[in-house]
Structure formats: C-alpha cells, structure tokens
C-alpha cells in the first residue's frame, strides 16, 4: 500500500519533441492517496494509457519523478514496483490451469507452495473462481479471463496499486455491471489503491470516489463525481461529462458579469478576467436552464423524449442551447425565453473556470 505521487511527469514518444503537440503527457503533478478508488477518464488518445504505463513502469517518462510513498521508483522496473495491471483484453496464460495462472506471480517470487495454495484459494473465493480452478484458462469466457487477470494482481499481498486499463471493453453488457460491482466490492475488501482507466463516464462515475479527467495530455480536473458535475473546472470537463454536455456560449465580460450577444447574464459572484485572455465563455448545464417569462429569446428547434425527461434544443441566432426538462413541464409553442440558474452559471477564460 502506498501513496503515489507524480512529480512533474511528462512524456513524449518522439526523440526530439518540438511543439506542445509532440508531448503525449504534458506536465503532470498528481497525488493519488493510499487506498483510494480513482478513475482516469478521458477520450481516446488523451494520454490515459501512457500515464498508466508510466505508473506501472512499463514506460520510462521523458521527465519528472514517480514516487511510491517517498521512494523514488522512476527507474525501478515493473516487476519490482509491486503493482498489478489488468489490461483491455484479457491476458491469461493459455496452457496453464486457472490455479496455476493465479499462482504464477507468487511462484515467480519464490513463495513456498503451501502459502501459494492458501492465497490462491482465498483469492479464488473472492472472485467466485473456486469451481473452475482445475480448468484450463483458455476455456473460460471473456469475463472469467478478466477475473483471472485481476486475480493475478490481487493474489500478491504486497501490491501498492491495481490498475485497470479499460477492463470491460470485451465484456458482454449484462456482465459489465456485475463485474463492476465486484470491483467496487473488492476495493472495499482489499483496500488497495485502484486506478481505473476508461473513456466511459458511467463506468468512471460509478466506480470511483475521485475522478481524474484528462484532456490532451493534461489533467484538467480531479474531483468527486458531484464536483465534476456541479463545477467543471474546464470547459472540456463540462461537455465531456454529462449527457448532453454543458452549454458553452461565447460572452463578453462587462463590470464583472458576462453578456452573451448583448444579453447580460447573472452569475453568483462578479468575476475578474485575467489580462491576456483571448476568449471568454459561459457554461451552464442543460439541467440548470429552464423556460421563463422573460430572458433570452429563443426558437425551439428540436425536442427529444428520452423517457423520464426531455432534451430540448433551442436556438438564439446561430447558437444552439440544450436544456433538460421534466416530462410533466409544459413547453412553449415554438419560441420562448430562457432563464439560467445564476448559481450554476460559470464563466470560463480560455477554457478554465473563473472564480
């Protein structure tokens, strides 16, 4: 068990990175506390897997340090970092039995066979694998194989962190839910730090206590699911998390308050725009926009009924705004006025929130 610190870690796959785009990981400073359940969320190609491989030691970062507790492990190879990793596609040793698969990491470390046996039995119990211990691993279904991969991590009592690299990609939808609850359960049982990489916000938000959102090689926000929803620190978090994502509208700041195409909007407090800002926007989630008697005049362009609520798309000049309304609230005919919840309307300067 350990706290993991990334100290100014950066990485490029190129020999001579020139432009910022050449860096797969721009500078990262992250602390993962001991025993936490983290999700690493971001779109494909944002650097999630690179970051994971830096922590597990499969990749040497171009710069910066990785610390486990206070020990610098930047140069330490994977097998001596005491970490476990579950990959996107199940990795099992085909010719071995399920038992031998689970025992493999222990036997490689020279642990006596009687201890191996009790440990394997214990882990097999946690993962519901007792019945198939004698079977060939290659004969199992995808979710069974993924359990073996996970078991090979859990079986070692010394793991600092277990990392999951989109582990549910090849699992049938109805088993995904089961396996995800199993992971959550195991986290409480084992207490190891877990980092779960995914591009699926549902997976991230249900698994993790803390979600690390990555975008373009940077960590844009670390927070609880509620924080990410209520106060996205970056416009990317706003539109990546939530369905539909946050509305973003260009605005000008006058006297500390935003104005969208001449319409003054209220926010909780006055903001101050830092000098040199190129672009200011307001962001408000569809859940916090409603129709009112007065406000921003809009035309309704589309209504999607998605069950318990409706998603309404409206237009003001060429800007589309989405709002979520409950099923039982009546909509105006074809045009109306929008009211934004002032406490939930955020102002962003060059993508970052102003507070």
Partner 1 sequence: MIDKTTNQRAWLLVLPVVVLVAFNALIPLMTVINYSVQETFGNNVFFFEGVKWFEQILHSERFHAALLRQLTFTGIILLIEIPLGVAIALAMPKRGPWVSVCLVLMALPLLIPWNVVGAMWNIFALPDIGLLGRMINGMGFDYNFTQQPLAAWFTTILMDVWHWTSLVVLLAYAGLSAIPDAYYQAARIDGASAWSVFRYIQLPKMKRVLTIAVLLRFMDSFMIYTEPFVLTGGGPGNATTFLSIDLVKIALGQFDLGPAAAMSLIYFLIILLLSWIFYTLMMRNEAQ
Give the sheet arrangement for strand 289-292, strand by strand.
Answer: 289-292, 335-340, 296-305, 309-316, 319-326
Query: Which of residues 59 and 208 has its CB atom nearest to partner 1 in the complex?
Result: 59
Could you give the angle at the alpha carbon of 236 between the alpha carbons of 349 and 243, nearest 5°?
130
Stretch 41-70 residues interacting with partner 1 (CB under 8 A): 53, 56, 58
Which has the closest alpha carbon to 220: 202, 239, 195, 194? 239
Q: How many residues bind partner 1 (CB under 8 A)?
A: 26
Q: By three-state DSSP, how is residue 111 classified?
A: coil
Our finding on whether 127 is near partner 1 (CB under 8 A) is no
Our finding on whether 77 is near partner 1 (CB under 8 A) is yes
Among 46, 51, 66, 83, binds partner 1 (CB under 8 A): 83
* Phi then psi dihedrals of residue 214, to 5 deg: -115, 145
Among 32, 38, 104, 260, binds partner 1 (CB under 8 A): 104
Q: By three-state DSSP, how is residue 206 classified?
A: helix
Stretch that binds partner 1, among 30-38, 105-113, 230-238, 251-259 (CB under 8 A): 105-113
Q: Name the minimum Å distance from CB 141 to partner 1.
A: 16
Which has the closest alpha carbon to 86: 194, 200, 219, 222? 194
Among 20, 43, 125, 139, binds partner 1 (CB under 8 A): 139
* Other beta carbons within 10 Å of 39: 25
Q: Name the minimum Å distance from CB 232 to partner 1.
A: 33
Our finding on whether 136 is near partner 1 (CB under 8 A) is yes
Binding site for partner 1 (CB under 8 A): 53, 56, 58, 77-79, 83-85, 87-89, 91, 93-96, 104-105, 108-109, 136, 139, 149, 152-153
């Amino acid at each position: 068990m350990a706290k993991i610190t990334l100290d100014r870690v950066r990485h490029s796959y190129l020999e001579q990175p020139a432009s910022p785009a050449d860096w797969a990981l721009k500078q990262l400073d992250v602390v993962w506390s001991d025993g936490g359940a983290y999700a690493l969320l971001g779109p494909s190609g944002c650097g999630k897997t690179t970051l994971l491989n830096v922590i597990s030691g499969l990749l040497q970062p171009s710069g910066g340090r990785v610390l486990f507790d206070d020990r610098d492990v930047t140069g330490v190879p994977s097998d001596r970092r005491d970490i476990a990793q579950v990959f996107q596609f199940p990795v099992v040793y085909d010719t071995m039995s399920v038992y031998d698969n689970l025992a493999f990491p222990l036997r490689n470390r020279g642990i006596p066979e009687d201890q191996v046996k009790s440990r394997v039995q214990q882990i097999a119990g946690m993962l519901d694998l007792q019945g198939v211990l004698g079977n060939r691993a290659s004969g199992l279904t995808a979710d069974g194989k993924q359990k073996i991969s996970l078991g090979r991590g859990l079986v070692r009592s010394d793991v600092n962190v277990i990392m999951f690299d989109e582990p549910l990609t090849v699992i049938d939808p109805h088993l995904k839910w089961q396996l995800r609850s199993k992971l959550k359960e195991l986290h409480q049982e084992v207490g190891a730090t877990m980092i779960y990489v995914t591009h699926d916000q549902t997976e991230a938000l249900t698994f993790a206590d803390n979600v690390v959102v990555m975008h373009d090689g940077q960590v844009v926000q670390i927070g609880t699911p509620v924080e990410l929803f209520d106060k996205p620190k970056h416009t990317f978090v706003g539109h990546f998390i939530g369905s539909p994502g946050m509305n973003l509208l260009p605005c000008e700041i006058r006297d500390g308050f935003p104005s969208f195409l001449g319409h003054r909007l209220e926010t909780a407090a006055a903001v101050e725009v830092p000098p040199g800002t190129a672009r200011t926007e307001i962001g408000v989630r569809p859940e916090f926009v409603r129709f009112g008697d007065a406000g921003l005049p809009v035309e309704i362009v589309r209504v999607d009924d998605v069950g318990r609520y409706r998603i309404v798309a409206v237009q003001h000049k060429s800007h589309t705004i989405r709002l979520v309304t409950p099923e039982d609230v009546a909509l105006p005919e074809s045009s109306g006025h929008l009211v934004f919840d002032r406490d939930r309307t955020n102002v962003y300067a060059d993508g970052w929130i102003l507070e």
